[in-house]
Chain A
């Protein structure tokens, strides 16, 4: 594989996006620890924390209860997705001014490939600076921007001087920047993998880059080659604009490997719900659904199923996803370190084949989803759950438990 020597990938990452918007909309919050996610000590998790709150150790995905303990004087606010969406859209318009090659990763993060735009707007570094300035001027928010030859390095660069950072990694600086970084900074290396790498004697990215990839693979498993490439600064993934995206997926790498099948099912359900909401937001339907499971020793398997009709209703996606998970559990993949669900063969608005005998049930499911999405957008993801996910089996087992 060749190292791409042209520096053309930009990664833009908004700084504490949700919390910054709250501070922007209510200037009295500036300089105060803002925690977005819900009521202090509520059952939800932190969606975003301002840098002032991070000083106390508060971070996103942390239970609100923990956040309250760490930062009792924090300003706890509900999530306002509609407002964040507005600003996110505005920022995306800024990106699209420079290139159509924009791959949003979430509402506050995107990759841009500016190859071909350089003649018009200047070098990737110039474009990166312009974008950063425009975002600040037009929204009042700061972004951290990384410019590099590939996605991995660009993302790493945007993170190096966060917040309000701007880092360019040119090919001649790759080693100087990567070598001293801890292995945990490699994409895909979680806590567990980090410990294993430490145990094998690898503490820094530079040490991995110097390793013999074959030997590393023997010791660490098949994903070692990928890690070694990243450590060498090689990443061949291309920027895929949303419009051309062939699939959409949601995954989670567990902080601790999961052995329990039911817990795994719950994790999958969360992902399906999340994926469904993303599909619905984009008004996209999935023609095929795919579930992937990775074991603690990095064996990965995926299974997929074509839906009878393209769908984005959580209940319909879940009905297939749970069958696929059952299929995956026939293989020896536990304990699992990662699970993901993907929507493949996407059907966009205007491409949906209508049905002559469409049942009211599907319309109803769509309405339920829209209502739940709206409630969640207003009150946060934890505000409401689905009673229907108690399948008849679950109900039976609960009942049996009661009776016994």
Chain B
């Protein structure tokens, strides 16, 4: 193949696709992108066999259609280290050339036929939603998912689909995020009978990949895999295997007391109190009474902190300890000028944060 590319557009596509490049040594060819160019457009692909992406490169002038294998990290470095607006790309099965006004790179290549295939989105059964809805849902949940392989079944978000809505649930076993948003079903697409969990890695890649909030996103679940179609890309991912915990069991049905918290001042006070919390044992004690909230932390050697905040609180006085990081994680994804409601039962039961009707976040206290 031979093409003239817009440097910025090519770099942007490479950066999105590089999320699917494995950091482990799976197969040498997977350290590369595959580019496929026909007369009027060019697609860049990357995969680690678990996650795959096809992304359209904008602003390409294809001089000779064809395929190329391009070393991912080298190509990104080359594109970063120049200011040239136009880049010339030429490749065959033996080598690839990247050139600008004052530089030229030649790199060994491989046979593009050896690159694993990434499925295309041809399904007629799918759910559709806006990128804005999906991005908000991803950002509200993925941070609560587990990262340790020992909690493999929780390393993603559970998807529950209805005719006109979709719910995402993520948990690491200590806290849980639940959110819903509107979506529309097409062609009778459903996940009845399965509880698909999409890996966090795939969801993070999607989040970086939307061009604007109005863009339409299609999602299609197949057995063991999921495909997302955005305007200029397709993201493929294998689903997390295993059983997601029964989250409905742990969502509290009622509460004993509740507080209304203003996001910005509450967040600032939590961060302030947490300054004295130990790195190893992160703990801040939250004392609620009818007039105020007092937050206290004590480090084993660092000292003590006490921070007060006027809050609206109804119910008996309660003292409950949380990992302050879990609280801050929630506040980071909420608008600063908004309010969040906190429902409490007692010092040892999970505490439920509610933001409107569409977002709930549950934290297990320290006991």
Interface of A toward B, CB cutoff 8 Å: 243-244, 287, 308, 345, 347-357
Contacts and interface: CB of A to CB of B under 8 A. Distances in A.
B281 interface: yes
Q: Which of B171, B281, B321 has the most CB of A within 10 A?
A: B281
B245 A357 contact: yes
A356 B362 contact: yes
Top 10 nearest A-B pairs (CB, nearest first) are A354-B364, A357-B245, A351-B281, A356-B250, A308-B150, A355-B173, A356-B364, A345-B280, A353-B366, A354-B367
Contacts of A350: 283, 321, 366-367
Contacts of A352: 366-367
Contacts of B283: 350-351
Contacts of B321: 350-351
Nearest to A349: B367
A245 to B, nearest CB: 10
B123 to A, nearest CB: 34
A349 B175 CA distance: 20
Contacts of B6: none
Nearest to B321: A350
A347 B323 CA distance: 13
B148 interface: yes
B223 to A, nearest CB: 26
B323 A353 contact: yes
Contacts, number: 51
SS class of chain A's interface: helix, strand, loop or mixed?
loop
B173 A356 contact: yes
A98 B72 CA distance: 67
A354 B245 contact: no
A356 B366 contact: no
Nearest to B251: A356
20 contacts: A243-B300, A244-B301, A308-B148, A308-B150, A345-B280, A350-B367, A351-B281, A351-B366, A353-B174, A353-B323, A354-B348, A354-B350, A354-B366, A354-B367, A356-B174, A356-B176, A357-B171, A357-B173, A357-B246, A357-B250
Contacts of B364: 353-356
B156 interface: no
Nearest to B323: A353
Interface of B: 148, 150-151, 171, 173-176, 245-247, 250, 280-281, 283, 300-301, 321, 323, 348, 350, 362, 364-367
Given A308-B151, A356-B350, 6 more contacts: A345-B280, A353-B174, A353-B366, A354-B350, A356-B171, A356-B174
B150 to A, nearest CB: 5
A96 B150 CA distance: 43
Contacts of B301: 244
A160 to B, nearest CB: 35
Contacts of A243: 300
Contacts of B365: 354
B148 A356 contact: no
B156 to A, nearest CB: 16
Contacts of B350: 354, 356
Contacts of A354: 174, 348, 350, 364-367
A347 B281 contact: yes
Contacts of B174: 353-356
Contacts of B247: 356
Contact of B280 (A244, A287, A308, A355): A287
A350 B297 CA distance: 12
Given A287-B280, A350-B321, A356 B300 contact: no
Contacts of B176: 356
B281 A244 contact: no
Nearest to B151: A308
B217 to A, nearest CB: 30
B329 to A, nearest CB: 14
Contacts of B173: 355-357
Nearest to A306: B148
A243 B300 CA distance: 8
A345 B364 CA distance: 21
Contacts of A348: 281
A232 to B, nearest CB: 31
Contacts of A355: 173-174, 364
Contacts of B348: 354
A351 B279 CA distance: 12
A347 B301 CA distance: 15
Q: Which of B150, B175, B362, B366 has the most CB of A within 10 A?
A: B366
A242 to B, nearest CB: 12
Nearest to A308: B150
A348 B362 CA distance: 23
Nearest to B172: A356
Contacts of A244: 300-301
A295 B27 CA distance: 42
B322 to A, nearest CB: 9
Contacts of A349: 367
A353 B173 CA distance: 10
A349 B321 CA distance: 12
B240 to A, nearest CB: 16
Nearest to B365: A354
A356 B281 contact: no
A357 B244 CA distance: 11
A356 B169 CA distance: 14
Nearest to B173: A355
Contacts of B150: 308
Contacts of B362: 356
A287 B282 CA distance: 13
A4 to B, nearest CB: 22
A356 B280 contact: no
A366 B14 CA distance: 52
A374 B367 CA distance: 23
A22 B250 CA distance: 51
A350 B367 CA distance: 4
Contacts of A345: 280
A16 to B, nearest CB: 36
Nearest to B250: A356
Contacts of A353: 174, 323, 364, 366
Q: Which of A243, A350, A353, A354 has the most CB of B within 10 A?
A: A353
Contacts of B148: 308
Nearest to A345: B280
A360 to B, nearest CB: 13
Contacts of B280: 287, 345
A353 B174 CA distance: 7
A47 to B, nearest CB: 33
A240 to B, nearest CB: 11
A348 B300 CA distance: 11
A355 B366 CA distance: 9
Contacts of B367: 349-350, 352, 354
